[in-house]
Amino acid sequence: MSKSAAETPEATKQAGTVAIVASRYNSKYTDALVKSASETLAALAPDLEVEVTRVPGAFEIPVLVEAVACKDVQPLAILALGVIIRGSTAHADLIAQSITQSLQKTGVSHLIPVIHEVLLVENTEQAEARSIGDELNRGREAAEAAVAMIDVMADVL
């Protein structure tokens, strides 16, 4: 896994909505991801409205992402945020694989950037480093990727 993020994109002048769909499970980490993503979006995309919806757990994220993508007025991007901490069984891997496939399918079928930051980590230390820390903050990175993709999609569509 990379330990460095892509360059921070330039601020965008695009107007519209960005949806954040986040798990409530492992709330210490998911709350931090949502906060960081929201702050970054406010800084890089001040004309975008951010709508945050919480779901019980990571497995529920894809169904809501699909529902948001099916709205009459689609958001310009959807951020999927959650934290899965691997246990002693294969359950976490199965959940993570299912989420990844579902999110990719939604993004491709609706031609909307779905930014996947449902993290599968080994332990709470990794969860903290990727959600609360500054260096590897995946909430910030998700927002930066969304802003970059919003501009790319505006140029293509």
Catalytic, out of 91, 93, 101, 124: 91
Q: Which domain holds residue 52?
A: 20-57+64-156
Is 116 one of the catalytic residues?
Answer: no
Question: Would residue 6 count as lying in a domain?
Answer: no
Question: Would residue 5 count as lying in a domain?
Answer: no
Residue 57 CA to residue 50 CA, distance in Å, equals 21
Question: Would residue 14 count as lying in a domain?
Answer: no
Q: Bigger pLDDT: 77 or 154?
A: 77
Q: Give the CATH number, domain containing residue 148.
A: 3.40.50.960
Domain count, the chain: 1
Q: Which residues contact 131 (CB under 8 A, 6 or more apart)?
A: 29, 30, 32, 33, 36, 83, 119, 137, 138, 139
Query: 115, 16 in Cβ contact below 8 A?
Result: no
pLDDT of residue 88: 81
User: Tens of pLDDT along 27-41?
Assistant: 999 999 999 999 999
Q: What is the rounded (10 degree) CA torsion for 41, 123, 85, 110? A: 30
Which pair of structure tokens corresponds to residue 26? 């492992």
Strands 48-55 and 114-121, by their bridges, are unpaired
Full-model pTM: 0.91
pLDDT of residue 52: 98
